[in-house]
Amino acid sequence: MTERKPLISGNWKMHHNHFQAIQMVQSLSYQLNNDDYSYCDVSVHPPFTDLRSIQTVLESDNIPISLGAQHCHEQEKGAFTGEVSTGMLEKLNVKLVIVGHSERREIFNETDSQVNAKIKAIFKHGMTPILCVGETIDERDAGDAETKIKNQLIEGLQGIGKDRVGKMVIAYEPIWAIGTGATATPADAQEMCAHVRNCILEISGKSPSESIRIQYGGSVKPVNIADLMMQNDIDGALVGGAALEAESFARLVQYRLQ
């Protein structure tokens, strides 16, 4: 069985200007300083305007946290006002890029084929995609959650080699749980993450299905993270609200020490 190192990621969405972000990361690093948290990887995903500042802080203070982005454009360069390419992110030492977050899909109408193109662009520049999938409450109530997720995975991963798929991160994020305080129960989250792994087995084969890391996201908090992380198919968490403050983020990372 492949050993999968858990990944705890903080998605700051449109919060924290670069001054606040610097302060937050310094405070997070201070709070984690005396703890051994080498059992997991940690990433922060600030807004674009903070990336350069956070890169400098992480590198100059040797903080073992990976820099992440929340979004990218699929083209290398061109007349795409307001967009940022994966080549630009790579130059900032960004390691992980969130793609297909439900807010991007719902508010900005991102399609599965754009998501697919973005994943290819992220790999082209040596970074790791965190592909988000998840169902709405209506889809869940109608019994369509599994099918929705399977389709998002099939379309999102089209034409991506199995070695690459095995290195990816999938974030299963039920849309009804994002920012609502209504977390999926550990058993429900496990069932859906196992479904994701099963889909990867069908799409790309055994080895990628065993090595791919699957995060759960949706109202993860310091009080519920440990139970979620104990589940067999949950290899990490993608966290919004509870990752905004240093103390709370530190407690998420320390889920094994509580």
Please, which residues bridge with residue 175 across strands?
A: none
Residues between 228 and 257 with contacts to ligand PGA, criterion CB under 6 A: 238-242
- The catalytic residue among 16, 71, 73, 101 is 101
Say which DSSP state 184 is in: P
CA dist 143 and 238 (Å) reads 24
Decide whether 70 or 254 has the Cβ nearer to ligand PGA. Answer: 70
| Shortest distance (Å) from residue 251 CB to ligand PGA | 14
For 58-63, the CB contacts below 8 A with 24+ separation are: 58/25, 59/93, 61/26, 61/29, 63/25, 63/29
122-151 footprint of ligand PGA as x/- string (CB under 6 A): ------------------------------
Q: Are 214 and 233 in contact (CB under 8 A)?
A: yes
- 3-state DSSP helix/strand/coil % of the chain, to nearest 5: 45, 15, 40
> Nearest residue to ligand PGA, using CB?
240
Residues between 6 and 45 with contacts to ligand PGA, criterion CB under 6 A: 11
Q: Which helix (H) or strand (E) holds 156?
A: helix 145-156
101 is annotated as an active-site residue: yes
171-190 footprint of ligand PGA as x/- string (CB under 6 A): --x----xx-----------
146 is annotated as an active-site residue: no
Q: Are 172 and 217 in contact (CB under 8 A)?
A: yes
Residues between 209 and 228 with contacts to ligand PGA, criterion CB under 6 A: 217-220
The answer to whether residue 166 forms part of the interface with ligand PGA (CB under 6 A) is: no
Binding site residues, ligand PGA, CB under 6 A? 11, 173, 178-179, 217-220, 238-242
What is the set of active-site residues? 101, 173
